[in-house]
Structure 1
Amino acid sequence: MPIQIIWGNDLNACNKFIKKIIDQKVSKIWIEINVSYLNGDDDNQIKQAFDEILTPPLGDGSRVVVLKNNPIFTNKNEDIRIKFEKIYQNIPDNTYFILQNIKKPDSRLKSTKFIQNLIKKDLVLETSFSLPDIWDYEGQKRYLEVTANSMNIQLGEGAAELIMKSIGNDSFNLRNELAKAKIYLSASNRNETKELILKVDEIKNIFNDHQSNIFKIIDHLLQNNINESLIDIHYLLKKGEPALRLNAGLISQIRIHTIVKLLHKSGEQDLPTICKIANISNPKRIFFIRKKVNNTSSNFLIKLMSNLLDIEFSLKKGNNPFNVFTEHLVNLS
């Protein structure tokens, strides 16, 4: 009855972990039959997952059933909980049921309490892969340094900060860029015993010329650096980022920054109250947001929020995303 709970927002690490299980347990000859990827957002696929985990694998090796966006331990659903509790004991020993979700299992749910008992009995394994929050500067820096060290790369002075600015909170790109750096450093290092040290000047030569993410765009917007924000927006659009999803992310974050700014301006200091109004789960984040909006006026944030809502309306009418973002943001500068 090998059940594996995987959660966390580092989807690259989650996928690598799942692939490792499949490579170790499933016969390559029977892999197309004995591996299933199903989506927990679909009730029919949840039912299919429950059916498949009770089916022994065909041929040699094991069967692996992956239920992504697993709702069993994140959403209250008594039907799913009861069904899972009834069938879990009947899962064949050579069938692996992988339950994956970005969210951590909700400890208040009966299903989570049930699975915790199984974990204590070593009947279920739980693994988490979480990236530090984008606002957690020290956490991101530690994560980057640990990742680099795991690849036998030491970071020179200022290297971590430049890498963070270039890549952001993207573990997949981070490992790719560090892998390129390792090849470069190894080739230029004649003394094989000498440790590989990645310096600032080398980062500019090795890493991609342009990386972008939504939080860099937000930083540019908060600094009223509209030209740079549009460059990054256009870059993401060219990479295939859906315009509505990109704008929704901007609206969500700018809304939080605006609320924190207005509450701070009004004299509100109670962190639980601010968290509740701004829908912030970690009170520590408020310190970072206040720092970011310290030199940004309330009127500018309100105007920015209004323009982003106008962008949403215009995008839903089918207008060209490149033109829409440019027309509605350029008048802010």
Structure 2
Amino acid sequence: MKTIKTENFAPVYLFYGVEMFIGELLIDNVIDKMISPGFEVFNYNLLKDREITAKEIVQTCNTMPLGSAKRIVVVKEEVGIFERHAEADIQELSAYLKDPSPSTVLIFTLVKGDKRRKIYQTIASKSVLVELDKLNERDLTSWIAARIKKENKTIQRVALKKLIHHLRYLENKEMTITAVDNEVQQLVNYVGDEGEITVEDVETIIPMGIEENIFKMLDFSLQGRIAEAIAISRELMSKGESPFGMLGLIVRQIRLLLMTKLLLKEGATLANIAKTTGVPQFVAEKNRRACADRPLSLFLKNYFFVQELDIKMKTGGIEAEKGIEWALLNMKRDR
């Protein structure tokens, strides 16, 4: 990625990873830097038809640019080039990659593929690899802030944290920056002429996810606010949430709180707690606050309690829908 940011473009790239939205932004950057305005139609080739052959890719790359420093050729995953076994395709590409055109930047894109295949190894060995992995918490925060700034708006610090929490990008493997961008755009559209995005705006446009609802429900139960806890559980089930799935999340949350409490007793830092429990740092902070003033015995007792309930629900010892409310009624409380 460094060669792209410094404009010292290599002749061949392989963009690999789930965050192809970022890859598209990088491609736009290459086009802006290397193709003269108005000459994109002559010098930018986006190849995405499955019928395109390796020979056609090479011919396109060997075509001289017109009125610009470079020709940009992007071979999308839809072409299926990484799925091909034909030796002719491999040899055609291999010959070009050994001596690529100096006037062309060739970019292959691939979200996920079999790295053992000869065609992949042929391309990867002669390309600059740009890994488009999911963003970490710091980069995600910076990306969202920059995206909002681009719309000439700001976002309150606490609202940004809540937005990241509600989006669940860091916890959900299927959530991509494309989806994040769509949610941010909805938020921007909602505030209209207002210059600042608030916590209330985030809560209105992007409702709490299931895990945050489970956290809130469990916290109400531990405080003895049973009616409020049960109200959340009934609302979740009315929206189609499975009681088995809900109990699984309850078990997970109590396990996280138990681990957090044990780590706090050992003097672990917030960063260490986040790493050990496998959650983003802002979630670790929320868990730290939730268990800081509660005894270790509370989480130990409730952990064994929900494990037993899990067995009862799965074996028919208690009706699944009633099992969740029974758990909320019978868990050990704050003393």
- TM-score, with structure 1 as normaliser: 0.52
Q: What fraction of aligned residue pairs are identical, expressed as a percent?
A: 17
SS in 2 for 1:125: strand
Read off the aligned partner of 1:257 and give its amino acid letter: L
SS in 2 for 1:256: helix
Task: Provide the residue aligned with 1:292 in structure 2.
Answer: 290
C-alpha displacement of 1:26? 0.8
Structure 1 residue ranges (4+ consecutive) displaced by more than 6 angstroms after TM superposition: 18-21, 62-65, 170-173, 282-287
Q: Is the CA contact 1:166–1:212 (under 8 Å) kept in the aligned structure 2?
A: yes
Q: Is the CA contact 1:53–1:65 (under 8 Å) kept in the aligned structure 2?
A: no
Read off the aligned partner of 1:181 and give its amino acid letter: L
Task: Provide the residue aligned with 1:101 in structure 2.
Answer: none
Task: Provide the residue aligned with 1:221 in structure 2.
Answer: 218
Q: Is the CA contact 1:218–1:254 (under 8 Å) kept in the aligned structure 2?
A: no
- TM-score, with structure 2 as normaliser: 0.52
For structure 1, which segment, 170-179 or 142-151, has the greater mean C-alpha deviation from structure 2 after superposition? 170-179
1:35 corresponds, among 78, 88, 96, to 78
1:6 corresponds, among 17, 30, 45, to 17
RMSD between aligned residues:
4.9
C-alpha displacement of 1:235? 4.7
Question: Equivalent residues in 2 for 1:1-333 (5 A)?
Answer: 3-6=14-17, 14=19, 16=21, 24-27=46-49, 35=78, 52-54=83-85, 66-67=111-112, 83-84=116-117, 86-90=118-122, 118=125, 122-132=127-137, 142=142, 144-156=144-156, 159-160=159-160, 163=163, 167=167, 169=169, 175-186=181-192, 189=193, 196-200=195-199, 206-207=204-205, 210-218=207-215, 220-222=217-219, 224-225=222-223, 227-241=227-241, 243-262=243-262, 264-265=264-265, 268-269=266-267, 279-280=276-277, 288=285, 289-317=287-315, 321-332=320-331
Could you give the per-residue CA deviations for residues 100-151 of structure 1, whole angstroms, max 9, x where no partner exists? xxxxxxxxxxxxxxx7xx4xx644321222252xxxxx88765543342244
Read off the aligned partner of 1:128 and give its amino acid letter: D
C-alpha displacement of 1:294? 0.6
Give unpaired runs (5+ residues) of structure 2. Answer: 1-11, 28-44, 53-76, 91-106, 170-174
SS in 2 for 1:329: helix
Read off the aligned partner of 1:54 and give its amino acid letter: H
Q: Is the CA contact 2:17–2:133 (under 8 Å) kept in the aligned structure 1?
A: yes
Read off the aligned partner of 2:112 and give its amino acid letter: L
C-alpha displacement of 1:264? 4.2
Give unpaired runs (5+ residues) of structure 1. Answer: 8-13, 38-48, 73-82, 92-114, 133-137, 190-194
